[in-house]
Structures are given as structure tokens and as C-alpha cells.
Amino acid sequence: MTSAILAQPAAGQSGAVIETQTHPGQYRHWKLRCEGPVAHLIMDVREDAGLHPGYELRLNSYDLGVDIELADAVTRLRFEHPEVSVVVLTSGKDNVFCAGANIFMLRQASHPFKVNFCKYTNETRLAMEEATRESGQYYLAALNGVCSGGGYELALACQEIHLIDDRSSAVSLPEAPYLGVLPGTGGLTRVVDKRHVRRDLADVFATLAEGVKGQRAKEWKLVDAVHPKSQWSAAIARRAQELVKPGRPQRGIALEPLDKRREADRIDYSHVTLSVDRAARTARLELRGPHTAAPLPAEPAQAGSRWYPLALFRELDDALVELRLNFETIGVLTLHAQGDLDKVLAVDELLARHRHDWFVREVLLLMRRTLKRLDLTARSVFALVEPGSCFGGFLCEPALAADRIYMIDDPHQPTALALSPLNNGSFPMGNGLARLAQRFLDDPARVAALQLDTRPRFSPQEALAAGLVTAAPDSLDWDDELRIAVEERASLSPDALTGMEANLRFAGPETMETKIFGRLSAWQNWIFQRPNATGERGALSLYGEPASPEFDPRRT
């Protein structure tokens, strides 16, 4: 431990567990109101309901607790309210839309917490964009007041931004001038890569603490429309109605609470168990195969939120968030899948056959988001293909997301690994590539040669020859080889591993999404470590204090 570690209560270590499951009945900061095809998602942050003590969430500023509710609402809208085609995101407070991430929260947060908070926020915003693009739920930001920093970054994640023209409401990114940090939850990237604001205007904008308002905000493309206060409500309502799309499914399914039991070093779900060994800095994530692969009802949605693949991936998603937030010292995650491979492949076939049904499609999209969350989880991931394991089709995809795959080669207990057509396009990474395609970046023909249509199964030696697994030790060597690999990994610098994995996992093209997690987040994380931001005389540390920051002037 070093002096750079700040005062954040040690989440996950001393009882300060962060619970990431919620539902609208529990929301403290948001109101979700559905009126036929239009949903109103209203930010109305309770000042006194921060996730940690020590700060007040004034002016609709947010912390992780606010974003957990937003993420929940975005997911529920897709499953529970498929009839919605327009989501109007606005504020419940007068004259302020959102003041951004709470600065006093940021200041007291440890570096790892800051980084994980920003990552989660980014994932939530990308989920809003995915809902617009893939599920036809169009997000419209109705900025009914001042919108600064993370507030404007939230608006940027919407497909369309409307700003009230009341002579005072501006959009702004004051992070660099006020705090000495970046608009790092997508802001800089979306301004130039999504909205295509001209780079020099973006440069002026991102250094202009007071922001830009009215007609100029529209001219610079920072917003899509401005409306005078007198016409505001009518203009937003009219625009929402214009955007309504007919032909939506009319009945959703309830996302029931997860079956989740927490112990000190273990979380059990229906189909998933996460268990940690704090001393060894390892975690074991077990995914269990289905009991049955019964056909879907005529109306697939009637399968409900307990349908195996949906339940499994909701649990996996929650386990990954738990790991990040509540078990921060765990370095190596081993991934296991235990169950009946035949049944897994039968479920895989159901998913493929019904993939155009709205509900099954939403299940596949939730899987995709969960797998991206795994790609972005800063822990070394080794998938272990052991006797009784069932990595196949959609359930092989977490293994393909792992840094390494080890497969035991034991003639007495044969193991197999299976692929399916879903592995080639149903779960693209953030960079747009299927994990198999990225694995064989040198030669796209190798994916075709796997003949995924046949749902092929691979013995250890076949998997090794096909390049699907990293190593296939025999049963005599297995225990030692695995033990050494895990111990060695856990002994390396956690930071070097994070940086290494962030580079090796994302070979190939970059997209706006990967630029946010690569270019933008990496720079922001650097700045979060710099004395100019977080040192005793740094700008973030001194925000709101009478003293001015003092900068090391050397440009780097």
C-alpha cells in the first residue's frame, strides 16, 4: 500500500458493499413514467441519498448510485416496456438538467473507484445508444436547464439533444478548466466522433467553463434544437410524438429480482457462483448449464425472466459488476462452465431459431452487453475446460473473451468444446468483430473452415490444432500447470496487467465505443494519477476551496 491510496471506504472489504441490483420501486433518483409509446425518464436526484457519506448530490449531480438506477431503467425499458419507442430523458428540477458527476464524491474516491465508476457510467451510456440503434428505443435529451460536465456527456449519449433557450441554460464541459481532468465519460469522443463538432470549435468548447447556449450551441452542433421557455414543453412533446414508431410489441416481461445470496467470500445465484480467495487474489466464476432445453412457448416472451439464458447472463452481468466494485484486490478470475453440453447446444439452437423474436433478440443483446462487460473487466481471465464442462455456442463465448483457455486432455474423462453460428456475429465486441474473427485476425478463412453451421465439437487436441485453446495439458500436468499459471499471474503488477490486457484484447479496428474505453479512458486514468489533478495542490483536490491549484508546468 502506498500514500497514493485515498480515503474511499474499502468497498467489499469492510462491510461497505455496493449493491448493484435495484428496481423502480426502490429508485431514489429517477422517475420512470411510461405513457404508451413514450417513456419519461426523469432525473431528480436526492441530495441526501449519496452512495457514500461525505458529499451532497446537489444540482442533480450524480454518483454511482444514481447511475446504477439509470442502468436499471435502461434495461427494464427494453424488457418490460417494449411498446416504448421514444425515451425522453429530462430533469425533475427547475433550471438545472444535471451538473455532472459529483466533484466532492470524485475527490474523496480512491483511484480504482474513480476508474470503475467511470467505466460503469460509460457502459450505461453505451447501453442507451445500443437501445436506440438495436431496439428502436430512441433517446431524446430534453435539457430543461443548465447541463454541464457529465450531465452533457449523458445528453451526448442520447440520439437527439434539445436545449431550453432561457438566456441562462448552457451546455458545457468545464472539466479541463475547472478540475484539471477530462470530460472522460465519453464527452470528448462523442463531441468529435458522434456529433462531428469541428475540432477547433470542440477545443474552444472544452476550455470554456461557462459553456455555450442558445443558437450558438446549435450552430456548433452541440445540440440539435433550441426552444424558448414558453414553447418548451409543447416542443418536446411534439418532437417525441413525431419520433414514435408503430408496430412495437405491446407486452413486455417483468425482470424479476435476481436469486442472489451473498456471503463474505461468495455470491450464489441460480446458475452462477462467484467465490473468491482473497489471500491468493483469485476468484472462481462458475456458470452452470441448463436443466432443460424445453421449446419456447408460441409467444417466446412468456418464458419470462427465469428463462435459462436470460437468467444466466443477468447473473453473470451482476457477478462481473460485483467483482469490479466489491472485490477490488482480486487479480485472476478463472472461468468454469459445468453442465450438459447437449442441453447447452439445444438452448443455443432455440436462441438462433427465434433470434428475430423481439424477446429473444433482447436476450441476445443483453448477452452481448454482458460479454462486452467481461472484455472490459480489468482482471486476468483464464477459462478452464475441465471434465463435465459445457462451453458451447453462446456459452463458449465467455471463454473466447478470456485471456487464455486451458483444456484438460484426459483420455478417461473426455472433454469437448463446441461452437455454433452464434459465435460468428451475434456477440460482436465493442470493435465490431466477433471474438472468433478477432482471434484469427490473420486469416478470416479460418473462421469459415470451422463450419459453425454444424455446431462442431472439438476434443482437446482438435481444439489445440484449431487454435481455439491456449494449451491442453494432460491430466498429470494439469494441476501443477494451472496452479503455476494462476500464481504467476497473480504475482505480476496489477497495473501492468491492466494495461497489457487493454491492448491485447482489442486487436483490430477501433470504434467510437472502443475509443472511449481505450484512448479517452486511458488518458483520463493517467490524469487521475497526476499531481496536477489529484495532488495536494491539484485542481480536482482544490475545487471549491479558496486556494488556487499549482501546476507542474512541464508538458508531457
CB of 11 to a copy of itself, least distance (A): 10
Nearest CB to a copy of itself, comparing residues 286 and 403: 403
Residue 380 parent element (H or E): strand 380-385
Contact region for a copy of itself (CB under 8 A) — 93-101, 285-293, 415-423, 510-518? Answer: 510-518
For residues 187 and 150, give the distance between their C-alpha atoms in angstroms, rounded to a whole number. 8
192 lies in the site for a copy of itself, by CB under 8 A: yes
Q: Rule CB under 8 A: is residue 462 a binding residue for a copy of itself? A: no
What minimum distance in Å lies between the beta carbon of 283 and a copy of itself? 11
201 binds a copy of itself (CB under 8 A): yes
Q: What is the side-by-side order of every strand in the sheet holding 212-213?
A: 95-98, 145-148, 170-172, 212-213
- Sort strands 417-418 and 380-385 into parallel, antiparallel or unpaired: unpaired
Please list the helix, strand and coil fractions of the chain in percent, rounded to the nearest 5, in that order. 45, 20, 40
Q: Does 111 bind a copy of itself (CB under 8 A)?
A: yes
Interface positions, 128-167, toward a copy of itself (CB under 8 A): none
CB of 480 to a copy of itself, least distance (A): 16
Q: At what angle do helices 341-353 and 358-375 cross, to 10 degrees?
A: 120
Q: Would you say 90 or 148 has its CB closer to a copy of itself?
A: 148
Interface with a copy of itself, residue 531, by CB under 8 A: yes
d(CA 125, CA 21): 18
Contact stretch for a copy of itself (CB under 8 A) within 135-143, 148-156, 386-394, 518-526: 518-526
Binding segment for a copy of itself (CB under 8 A), chosen from 98-106, 236-244, 303-311, 462-470, is 462-470
Of residues 218 through 257, those in contact with a copy of itself by CB under 8 A are 221
**Which of 9, 34, 537, 543 contacts a copy of itself by CB under 8 A?**
537
Residue placing its CB nearer to a copy of itself in the complex, 104 or 551: 551
Is residue 108 within the footprint of a copy of itself (CB under 8 A)?
Answer: no
Distance, first Cα to last Cα, the chain: 27
Contacting residue, 470, 477, 481, 543, with a copy of itself by CB under 8 A: 470
User: Which residue in the set 180, 393, 460, 473 belongs to the binding site for a copy of itself (CB under 8 A)?
Assistant: 180
**Per CB under 8 A, does 467 bind a copy of itself?**
yes
For a copy of itself, which stretch binds (CB under 8 A), given 39-47, 78-86, 322-330, 354-362?
322-330
The answer to whether residues 87 and 95 touch, using CB atoms and an 8 Å cutoff, is no
Stretch that binds a copy of itself, among 67-75, 134-142, 436-444, 473-481 (CB under 8 A): 436-444
Pick from 169, 170, 174: nearest CA to 187: 174
Nearest CA-CA partner of 191 in 201, 182, 202: 202
The reply to whether 207 sits near a copy of itself by the rule CB under 8 A is yes
163 alpha carbon, distance to own chain's centre? 27
Stretch that binds a copy of itself, among 16-24, 52-60, 364-372, 491-499 (CB under 8 A): 491-499
How many chain residues touch a copy of itself (CB under 8 A)?
A: 100
Closest-CA residue to 327 (of 273, 272, 278) = 278
Rounded to whole angstroms, the Cα distance separating 149 from 307 reads 40
Residue written as grid cell 432561457: 166
Shortest reach from residue 166's CB to a copy of itself, in Å: 26
Quick check: 308 and 339 in contact, CB under 8 A?
no
Selected range binding a copy of itself among 108-116, 229-237, 285-293, 474-482, rule: CB under 8 A: 108-116
Sole binder of a copy of itself in the list 45, 106, 182, 347 (CB under 8 A) = 182
Question: Cβ distance 167 to 485 under 8 Å?
Answer: no
Three-point CA angle 332, 384, 426, nearest 5°: 95
265 is a contact residue toward a copy of itself (CB under 8 A): no
Q: For residues 303 and 330, which CB has a smaller minimum distance to a copy of itself in the complex?
A: 330
Q: Where are the alpha helices (DSSP H) in 267-357?
A: 308-326, 341-353
What DSSP letter does each residue of 471-531 carry, written as one string?
A: B--BHHHHHHHHHHHHHHHHHS-HHHHHHHHHHHTT-S---HHHHIIIIIHHHHHHHHHSH
Interface residue with a copy of itself, options 331, 339, 430, 473 (CB under 8 A)? 331
Q: CB atoms < 10 A from the CB of 369, how many? A: 17
The nearer residue to a copy of itself, 91 or 282, going by C-beta atoms, is 282
510 touches a copy of itself (CB under 8 A): yes
CB closer to a copy of itself out of 215 and 292: 215
The residue from 242, 247, 411, 555 that contacts a copy of itself (CB under 8 A) is 555
Please state whether beta strands 138-143 and 86-91 pair in parallel, antiparallel, or not at all (unpaired). parallel
- Tell whether residue 200 is a contact of a copy of itself (CB under 8 A): yes
Paired residues of 163 in beta bridges? 143, 226
